[in-house]
Amino acid sequence: MGFKDRFNAEALNERVAKSVVGRWFRLEGSGHPLERPGSKFSTELRAGTVTAAAMLYVSILLENRRVELTV
């Protein structure tokens, strides 16, 4: 397995899907009886990162607004 194969997004998705983590989250290709079609590790990771960033942004905005209202 070369460098390109190791850091290829599709190869990463396949390796994680076949692991315990992939089976736990029922990723596509995990072999779980209730696996979710279209759910891939890289997609779920990006979605979680964007969601966390959005929540952090909103919480910072709300905190700043609360500070302005109490002054």
Mean pLDDT along residues 60-67: 78
* CA distance linking residue 10 with residue 59, whole number of Å: 34
Reading the block at residue 39, the tokens are 């759910």
The tokens 């460098």 sit on which residue? 3
The tokens 């891939």 sit on which residue? 40
In this predicted structure, the answer to whether residue 64 has a pLDDT above a threshold of 70 is yes
Q: Report pLDDT digits (tens) over 20-48.
A: 999 999 999 999 999 999 999 999 999 99
Phi/psi for 47 (5° steps) reads -65, -40
